Amino acid sequence: MAPSKIAALTTLLASATMVAGHGYVSSIVANGKNYTGYLVNQYAYMDSPPDSVGWSTTATDLGFEDGTEYSSENIICHRDGKNGAISAEVKAGSDVDIQWTEWPESHHGPVITYLASCDGDCSTVDKTKLEFFKIDAVGLVDGSSVPGSWGTDKLIDAGNRWTVTIPDSIAAGNYCLNLKVTGGGSDDPEGTLGEKLYTDEDPGILVNIYATISNYVMPGPTLYSG
């Protein structure tokens, strides 16, 4: 991000000027069932907030983690992120709908989706041990005029909702957001530790979106093809 709000299921990157007031994942729909995310503007002020598939954060200002935090654990599940208590069950090969709160129209950039195997219970996993693999990425859609049309613009146009398909080739198990994937194949994709995903000099991050871009380079590791 850029802000990394919910660990592995979605990491949203936005170039350009960044200020407080970014969106966050308020809920997801998996297997037709709705699950609450971590509602920063509510749950952070409750003594006993509802159990959530989203990881908690102390970023109540809805701020982002800048380039100095890319090698910090704060880039994983956001600032002081703590494990979500429950998992949403989802079949491999099916879609998960991710509902964001309002995303600023001026904050253009790619939408990149990752998974990371918890190798056990996601409610107790050490987030610094999670290894992320990219399953979806939408960057510069149309660069014919600056600042261009980006993945974030598609997100906004869809009512701040993003739909991602869980690969049908990955092995069943628990993955961060938190998800419990059923069915599937036997793949155990190689991942990257959260603190190793980005640097602030990556060409897809250190970019001027108000200049013509002929070839946008997607940040992060190679897309998992399944």
Give the residue from 29, 37, 10 showing the smallest Cα distance to 155.
10
- What is the spatial distance between Cα 211 and Cα 222, in angstroms, rounded to a whole number? 26
Q: Does position 72 have pLDDT exceeding 60, yes or no?
A: yes
Q: Are 122 and 175 in contact (CB under 8 A)?
A: yes
Letter for the amino acid at 220?
G
Give the chain's largest Cα–Cα span.
50
Omega within 30 of 0 (cis) for the link into 50? no
Reply yes or no on domain 11-196 having CATH 1.10.1200.10.
Answer: no
pLDDT at position 21 is 57
Taking the CA atoms of 16, 22, 25 and 26 in sequence, report the sign of the dihedral they define: negative
pLDDT at residue 186, as a whole number: 94
Please tell me whether residue 128 adopts helix, strand or coil conformation.
Answer: helix
The DSSP symbol for 43 reads H
Tens of pLDDT, residues 1-26: 332 222 344 444 443 333 345 788 99
% pLDDT > 90, the chain: 73
**How confident is the model over 43-67, as pLDDT tens digits?**
999 999 999 999 999 999 888 888 8
- 167-185 pLDDT per residue, tens: 999 998 777 889 999 998 9
Q: What share of the chain is helix, strand, coil (3-state, %, to 5)?
A: 10, 30, 60
Q: How do residues 137-151 score in pLDDT, each as one tens digit? A: 999 999 999 999 999
Domain ranges for the chain: 11-196
Cβ-based neighbour number of residue 160 at 10 Å = 17
Residue-by-residue DSSP string for 131-182: EEEEEEEE-EEE-SSTT-EEHHHHHHHTTSEEEEEPPTTBBSEEETTTEEEE
Amino acid code (one letter) for 11: T
